[in-house]
Structure 1
């Protein structure tokens, strides 16, 4: 899979401690979506999450100095954690995402990406091989139209495709300057294998579109980003994607032919989303009483007997689970990050984040850190942008004069 240079990567003590917590969280996070989860579910899983968070807190106390800006971002993170905790007790995935974003603010995202790629790939391949060898269950779900989906050792068919999507995106980011078609080809073969086995067609074709968009961005950057319209769409990609998703869900009418066809193409996502809106609304501080039923399995391989009602749109799901205030705050922070990336001409990272924005219209899995490592880029973008470093350097020069 090419050279990731983890052994030659220079890590200071602060970074090493962070990556201990991150790798533990990443591996056990991925495994929590597989049939291996039954071996450490419950108290042991909670202890693993708590250990990761405690490592990060100790690292923060010992290694970091704080400025007004970092304290301001910390206050926002604590606000978001507080909103989540109003409705959800205990240490859940959303809280972990927020904590890791803040803890990663002084860690180069390039280093995070280089470590995430092999760890995610090894864990993914380990689970698939385990399923094929019969070590864990390879559940097969057959639809009413006769099409079968293998879960490949995971508790849902879309989980492996989400992992490989994340790995491909990270590979494109890391190797933007020395792009190797052969290595990308290997990832695409694995992606196609997962698509064939799981029948995750939307995820597969979206990954191909992302690859195409990134290749065009890498080789035609100067031409493409002359367009103000393209810059506008990328900067406000999350606002556009969320607004369009919610509007289409609100206004869905089965009596309109093109809407009915679009809903069918999207696997009834508009219809199901509208039912959820009618039932649960859009609360200010979220709703922990929501009961969605999907095609996923529990850790023992049992599928829900309730009718399918899972909301796949990340924007609707976040709004209903964590509240309108949480969703709007998150959108503002991400949009500020996108604006900074465009200003600093970090176009490829902006395109990758925009790809995730549009994918999230039909897939909620990007909410989880082990399916979307790009969450960890946000802290570095918000706090340690190039423009801020330049201002500090200029200020120091003027002071010395």
Structure 2
């Protein structure tokens, strides 16, 4: 399936703004004193508090990262999360029962209406990091943020910010609305000196299972206060198969013109899926010339097609957002990088409602849009990543 990427890129900003449900924020005219406590008052639309599904400067994100000199230590159950000013020495650890998703956004808060808007020049942090089951079996409800500690690590390898529910901002919208929202709003201040955070920081999240004490240690997308920094991951419904319509002929025939080929590392369990899929994958560049540079999304997407050739699931889970990971790629033809497919198979919307696709046998395709540029510093454009077909059975 060929696509007009030039036209898609011109429509990128409009599409991203539509999907990201932008927050209505007026210009902030005054800066009000904030006091620290447990609750946050934050007004958002559609559950989305941060604007900016599309950012610019993949090269800036990659080049601005402090170099990681940490030793490769073995993972341990229930690691102690380093406190403020300590060296961050935890290694990545993959918990078998849950996974960590999310991001830390830089932005500003308008205390008149309680709204938050993402901008790299802001003085507040929105820590939207949570745990959920390792395999998605249904819609994302109220995310569990209580079991996660998020830290920002400076170029010297020490903790400059550490999330703590007791240190979150508390204020009430002055417009009388009494708006409240999820926890996670903090002053963007260095915990060692109370000075404003500045520059670029590696970001780690440590999620702990209260039942077993085992932890999942994940490197998230970096947090940058540099002009032009921002998230690359986003959603582009116009570039992916539409639920309820016939699957593209080129997809069924295996002739999709894609920039990346995606292969699952294992097909084990595909005959016994419980509403969704969580699987490691290898992404290989297929472009004949040049290189592709970008940020690896935290999750890739997949779609189900029935025996009649109709798309029966939504590529973009209506209950979950897309986030960047802490990894970047720089690949030429035939070169690869690792990624993860994490997909709840949501049915086509019926009068605004949706549920898990009914049990049965289907054909599954990995189908994602990844922003990538032709080199460091170049503007990114949407690229298509496709894998499959895979025979799957939903129980």
Asked whether the two chains share a fold, i.e. TM above 0.5, the reply is no
Shorter-chain TM-score: which interval? Answer: under 0.3
TM-score (normalizing by structure 2): 0.26
Greater strand share, structure number: 2
